[in-house]
Amino acid sequence: MTVTVLLFASYADALGERTIPLELPNGSTVAEAVRRVREMAGSARLPMEPMVAVNEEYARSDRALVSGDEVAIIPPVAGG
């Protein structure tokens, strides 16, 4: 199945893209999508627990994905 991944901040910087198509096995979860994106980033230092939204709604890491989903990976924001 294919999902569209929206990348923000350090994730976008690490992959040099803001949007990527991601091929995953059927039944994959949010956690598996994040893991795959982290692997694609290679040695880049990325936050381990980003917030994730699926189809514009925050999602838990165990949520199952379906083909066509839009997955936004949003790292924590620091500052003050």
Domain ranges (residues) in the chain: 2-74
pTM higher than 0.75: yes
- Cα 56 from Cα 74, distance rounded (Å): 12
Return per-residue pLDDT of the chain as tens, 80 residues.
Answer: 999 999 999 999 999 999 999 999 999 999 999 999 999 998 888 877 899 999 999 999 999 999 999 999 998 876 55
> In terms of CATH, what superfamily is 2-74?
Beta-grasp domain (3.10.20.30)
CA 35, 43, 11, 17 torsion: positive or negative?
negative
